[in-house]
């Protein structure tokens, strides 16, 4: 009997555990059902007895949004009316006129800010600076840009009549155009910059973007490119599979690029390279910043883990979560986080812990001290949490207060439009410069407009005065404070001269886009880009490039 006891106890223990788990699961289901009944009862009570009539759709959606907000910012409910927004996020497509718009405070209406090449707005002859007066007979003056955008969008092939006010013309114009499916290009520009270096600006991971990347690489190689810069700054991600496909262009077939792990069996998946690459040896630099996220981090992080590219820039956003779209009744959708992803070294780049929040509800960032060390294929140390840390971090320059406020103001926008009226042509974007006389005209215009900005130094001085008064040193420091106040008074003319190089850069960018469109603006912007200069230096110095990726001891399995 004693020998048989273990065989009896073991099945009893398993049976007890199963019973407890089943009981726990039943209790959880009961509590969930009870809470759903309470929610339904509240809605019924409000509908029957609340003093004002409620809008069921709105109040329930508000409740859903508030509930999901407590989880993470990527789990989002889309009603049937918002389904097109979700579709656009996934595909990069929408139906409309194909232009950026911006509200002009002085004109109290929306203006055309940037028509996309070969899209309805550009084909119909709309220009940057055109002010919208009406859309299909509906007056849009005073409307928000979101409201105007909704009017401009519609079914592909439908007609749209716009009444516009064009700078330089006395009478309004009427323009008729046809809405079309607008596909936002994932790669708005690529070209050869210098020393056989191919540059690719990659902005989003939409459907089939890997094919666009393949075409760009092949084309640049055909034009003599021997090394590459892929610019992922500001790229918020998108399709995980497309990211894997792009990594596959540079690393061999059969490599595990991403592993996802979640609650369900379906959430556990491996993504491997499935094709032969097109380039496994050309020097490659990936440019990133704090807005590089999600699928863009998979691309940058995987190439870092395989020591296939040098990562340059600032630390990336840190989004290591994967979302899945689920259909709901009434043609609604739920985009919800179902798993975390792990790149080849085994690390997850998720920076914020949404399950642990501060007293004000803010998600806590994982401190560097609690991150874990992983290794690239060659044995270089990399860490999880907090995004992708670049191999090279150029010193970043902060945007001055003056430049920030000038960018928000419409005076620069209007000046660039007036400049286009004065000059029929300008030099190519690669060499365009603003003359001293033209810059003086802009300065005079900005000063005459009454433009002002909030100087941080004056604000800090005000706080210092309050603290000095609180601590009883007001009389002692009175003369010093008065002297400092006199020196810190607004002098816009002085500021425009002191920061003239930076202001001219912003102004030239606006002007160039009036003549050469979005691509012209991109080309001009690359001229003064210090991160790009850093990339040039790395790619021009083979020894430095190799040393950054110097092999140590292999840590990733083949």
Catalytic residues: 294, 305, 319
Tell me the HSE value of 81 on the side-chain side, using a 13 A CA sphere: 4
Closest listed residue to residue 533, CA positions, set 343, 394, 388: 394
Of 295, 299, 297, 300, the C-alpha closest to 311 is 300
User: What is the Cα–Cα distance from 516 to 521, expressed in whole angstroms?
Assistant: 7
Q: What H or E segment, with its residue span, contains residue 192?
A: strand 189-192
Which residues make Cβ contacts (< 8 Å) with residue 310, sequence separation at least 6? 283, 284, 285, 286, 391, 392, 538, 545, 548, 549
Q: ∠359-361-365 over CA atoms, to 5°?
A: 95
Nearest to 507 by CA among 419, 426, 422: 419
User: Which stretches of 279-343 are assigned E, i.e. beta strand?
Assistant: 284-288, 310-313, 321-328, 332-342
Which residue matches tokens 């929610």?
39
* CA–CA gap between residue 350 and residue 320 (Å, rounded): 4
Angle at 209 between CA 206 and CA 215, to 5 degrees: 165
**Strand locations in 349-484 (E):** 352-357, 363-365, 373-375, 381-383
To which H or E segment does residue 132 belong? strand 131-135
The sign of the dihedral angle between the CA atoms of 296, 300, 302, 305 is: negative
């Amino acid at each position: 009997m004693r020998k048989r006891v273990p065989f009896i106890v073991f099945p009893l223990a398993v049976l007890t555990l199963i019973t407890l788990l089943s009981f726990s699961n039943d209790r959880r289901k009961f509590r969930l059902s009870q809470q759903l009944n309470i929610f339904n009862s509240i809605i019924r009570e409000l509908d029957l007895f609340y003093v004002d009539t409620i809008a069921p759709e709105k109040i329930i959606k508000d409740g859903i949004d508030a509930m999901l907000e407590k989880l993470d910012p990527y789990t989002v409910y889309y009603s049937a009316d918002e389904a097109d927004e979700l579709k656009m996020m996934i595909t990069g497509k929408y139906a409309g006129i194909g232009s950026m718009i911006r509200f002009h405070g002085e004109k109290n209406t929306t203006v055309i800010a940037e028509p996309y090449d070969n899209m309805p707005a550009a084909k119909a002859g709309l220009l940057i600076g055109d002010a919208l007066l009406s859309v299909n007979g509906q007056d849009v003056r005073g409307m928000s840009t979101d409201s105007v955008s909704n009017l401009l969008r519609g079914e592909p092939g439908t007609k749209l009549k716009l009444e516009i006010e064009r700078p330089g013309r006395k009478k309004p114009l009427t323009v008729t155009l046809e809405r079309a499916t607008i596909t936002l290009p994932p790669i708005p520009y690529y070209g050869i910059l210098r020393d056989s270096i191919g540059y690719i600006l990659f902005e989003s991971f939409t459907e089939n973007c890997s094919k666009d990347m393949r075409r760009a690489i092949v084309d640049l190689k055909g034009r003599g490119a021997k090394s590459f810069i892929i610019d992922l700054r500001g790229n918020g991600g998108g399709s995980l599979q497309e990211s894997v496909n792009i990594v596959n262009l540079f690393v061999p077939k059969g490599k595990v690029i991403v592993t996802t792990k979640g609650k369900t069996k379906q959430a556990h998946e491996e993504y491997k390279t499935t094709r032969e690459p097109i380039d496994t040896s050309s020097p490659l630099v990936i440019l990133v910043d704090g807005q590089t996220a999600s699928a863009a981090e998979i691309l940058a992080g995987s190439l870092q883990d395989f020591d296939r590219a040098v990562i340059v820039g600032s630390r990336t956003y840190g989004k290591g979560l994967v979302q899945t779209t689920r259909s709901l009744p009434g043609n609604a959708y739920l985009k919800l986080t179902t798993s975390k992803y792990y790149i080849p070294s085994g690390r997850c780049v998720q920076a914020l812990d949404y399950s642990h929040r501060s007293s004000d509800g803010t998600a806590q960032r994982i401190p560097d001290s609690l991150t874990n060390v992983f290794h690239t294929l060659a044995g270089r140390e990399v860490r999880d949490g907090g995004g992708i840390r670049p191999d090279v971090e150029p010193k970043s320059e902060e945007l001055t207060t003056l430049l920030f406020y000038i960018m928000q103001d419409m005076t620069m926008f209007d000046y660039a439009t007036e400049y286009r009226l004065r000059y029929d042509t300008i030099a190519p974007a690669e060499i365009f410069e603003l003359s001293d006389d033209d810059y003086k005209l802009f300065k005079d215009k900005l000063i005459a407009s009454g433009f002002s900005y909030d100087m941080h130094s004056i604000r800090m001085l005000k706080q210092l005065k309050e603290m000095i008064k609180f601590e009883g040193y007001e009389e002692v420091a009175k003369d010093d404070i008065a002297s400092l106040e006199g020196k810190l008074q607004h002098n816009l003319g002085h500021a425009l001269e002191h920061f003239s190089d930076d202001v001219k850069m912003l102004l030239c960018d606006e002007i160039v886009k009036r003549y050469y469109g979005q691509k012209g603006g991109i080309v001009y912007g690359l001229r003064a880009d210090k991160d790009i200069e850093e990339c040039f230096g790395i790619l021009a110095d083979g020894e430095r490039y190799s040393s950054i990726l110097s092999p140590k001891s292999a840590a990733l399995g083949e």
